[in-house]
Structure 1
Amino acid sequence: MSEVKLAAQTRTEFGKGAARRIRRDSKVPGVLYGHGVDPLHLTLPGHDLLLALRTPNVLISLDIEGRTELAIPKAVQRDAIKGFLEHVDLLLVKRGEKVTVEIPVHTEGELAPGAYLLEHVLNALPVEAEATHIPESVSVSIEGLEAGASVLAKDITLPNGTTLAVEEDAVVLQVLAAQAEESAGEESEGDEAVAEA
């Protein structure tokens, strides 16, 4: 897991006007909280933060005016149209501490021949891992799976030190039969009903 160093400044101005001024300077307002301490309002470098957030659950080493704190992103607000960062909530963590996060699920292989659809019931898998060793993702083989098959949380191999934070029997992926033929049948039934009327 990668660790990214960012310099941050504390901020004392709040509200929409202050946030706009911060963003005009290519910076992002944020809040650091956790461990029962008062939330710390920060200003973070926009471009560096944007690059850091490309890695899911990235561990951020914050240099806050001379003191260092470790944090992981908890909530990120982006502009709905332009996609730039508007605000970030960071969770304070300690080395060796376990945290609950969601990690992306990637698939490998091909489904069985035929027109099947793969549904991601869970796009991300809730797990508990050490804050400094959060896996970036997990991979699942879907090789040869047929309609009706499903992959449960307990079927996924997790890295050492990582445990599930969801029910073992939770469905993560399921394979569905294609609906095209069924839809065509429904349409023809509808046409017959119209003809009878």
Structure 2
Amino acid sequence: MAIPALKAERRTLSGTKNNRSLRAQGKVPAVLYGKGKENVNIALDTGAVNKLMHDAEHVVELELDGTRSHALLRAAQRDYLGDNIEHLDLTRVDLNDEVRVNLPLRWVGTPKGSNQGGVLEVIRAGIALSCKASNIPKYIETDVSA
């Protein structure tokens, strides 16, 4: 599995007004933290971030100030309609680090009772998983056929 790459720009200004201006320029404000290093405020291209979110990738390769490092997407804040990404939290990782992530469950097959008018009632839509950062699946597939 290829790890997607994102170019990050260091940003020195923060705050609501500056972040709005950044979004108007087609950038998403983000913060990179972890591994005992200083927190870094960065800006990412909105189009690249939207593709990343659509493809449900967890680990990215960030290029910042000419150096490349891996980061794990920890949180994404969206606007009140849920359409636009307002801010991202990324944490530094090594690909051999064990990380804990929440993954969606994908249901496949037809439950036995559905031919008799039954309905599959989904109680849990996701599950927490610990694995190496290099081996994070996009989802967990669950067969519900009898």
TM-score between the two structures when normalised by the length of structure 2: 0.91
Matched, 1:75 2:94: no
Alignment of 1:112-191 (within 5 A): 112=112, 113-144=115-146
Q: Which structure's CA Rg is the greater one?
A: 1
For residue 108 of structure 1, what is the aligned residue in structure 2? 108
Distance 2:118 2:59 in 1: 38
For residue 87 of structure 1, what is the aligned residue in structure 2? 87
Asked if structure 2 preserves the Cα contact closer than 8 Å seen for 1:78 and 1:85, the reply is: yes
For residue 53 of structure 1, what is the aligned residue in structure 2? 53
One-letter amino acid of the structure 2 residue matched with residue 34 of structure 1? G
CA drift of 1:52 comes to 1.0
Alignment of 1:29-68 (within 5 A): 29-68=29-68
SS at match of 1:48: helix
What is the CA deviation profile of residues 133-167 of structure 1, one whole-angstrom value per residue up to 9, with x for unaligned ones?
101112111113xxxxxxxxxxxxxxxxxxxxxxx
What is the CA deviation profile of residues 79-98 of structure 1, one whole-angstrom value per residue up to 9, with x for unaligned ones?
12261111011121112111
Asked if structure 2 preserves the Cα contact closer than 8 Å seen for 1:57 and 1:103, the reply is: no
- Structure with more contact order per residue of length (Cα contacts < 8 Å, sep ≥ 6): 2
CA drift of 1:57 comes to 4.1
CA drift of 1:129 comes to 0.9
Asked if structure 2 preserves the Cα contact closer than 8 Å seen for 1:2 and 1:59, the reply is: no
One-letter amino acid of the structure 2 residue matched with residue 143 of structure 1? S
CA drift of 1:69 comes to 1.4
For residue 181 of structure 1, what is the aligned residue in structure 2? none
CA drift of 1:70 comes to 0.5
For residue 153 of structure 1, what is the aligned residue in structure 2? none
TM-score between the two structures when normalised by the length of structure 1: 0.69
Unaligned runs of 5+ in 1: 145-197
97-106 vs 78-87, which deviates more?
Answer: 78-87
CA drift of 1:121 comes to 2.1
Matched residue count: 144
Unaligned runs of 5+ in 2: none
Asked if structure 2 preserves the Cα contact closer than 8 Å seen for 1:23 and 1:29, the reply is: yes
Identical columns (%): 26
What is the CA deviation profile of residues 39-83 of structure 1, one whole-angstrom value per residue up to 9, with x for unaligned ones?
111011111111011122432100001011111211101112261
Asked if structure 2 preserves the Cα contact closer than 8 Å seen for 1:76 and 1:88, the reply is: yes
Distance 1:45 1:75 in 2: 17
